[in-house]
Amino acid sequence: MLKKTRKCCSCNEFVSVDKIIKTNEFKEYQSEIKLYCDNCFLANVENGFGKLDNCSICESSLVLQFDNEETIALAQDDFTVHYVCRKVKEATEKNDAIELEKLVEEDHDWLICYTVQPDPSEPDFG
């Protein structure tokens, strides 16, 4: 039995349906949905498809909160991508609880984006 496949919009490789990642690249609701393989998705999502700002507190860049495997799993399973201020990520990786607490108190940015924007008229939106 053949597995269903779809073509990645970036590299044009065919990927099994269960591995493909659907996204409208953080555009508004009902924007075109594109299909990515995991490698192309990661390459594009690292910079938020060019739509990420820096941390509003310290101007550090926002980076993926989780490793590649977790980022892909979240994108496929609950259609989210998680970003944090670079300083928050560094403090987390160093297990520096004091620095992390300070950054949280200063309200450094944590951002969750939907890979496909939900319908804003749905009662559970937002």
pLDDT at 99: 97
For residue 3, the number of C-alpha atoms closer than 13 Å in the C-beta half-sphere is 9
Closest CA to 15 of 28, 4, 2: 4
pLDDT at 65: 97
pLDDT tens digits for range 53-111:
999 999 999 999 999 999 999 999 999 999 999 999 999 999 999 999 999 999 999 99
> pLDDT category, 1, cuts 50, 70, 90?
low
> pLDDT category, 28, cuts 50, 70, 90?
confident
CA distances from 90 to 22, 59, 84, 113, 122 (A): 29, 15, 10, 21, 36
pLDDT at 45: 97
pLDDT tens digits for range 76-89:
999 999 999 999 99
Residue 22: beta bridge partners?
A: 35
Q: Please enumerate in sequence order all residues whose Cβ is within 8 A of that of 3, keeping only pairs 6 or more positions apart, or say none.
A: 16, 17, 18
CB 86 within 8 A of CB 94: no
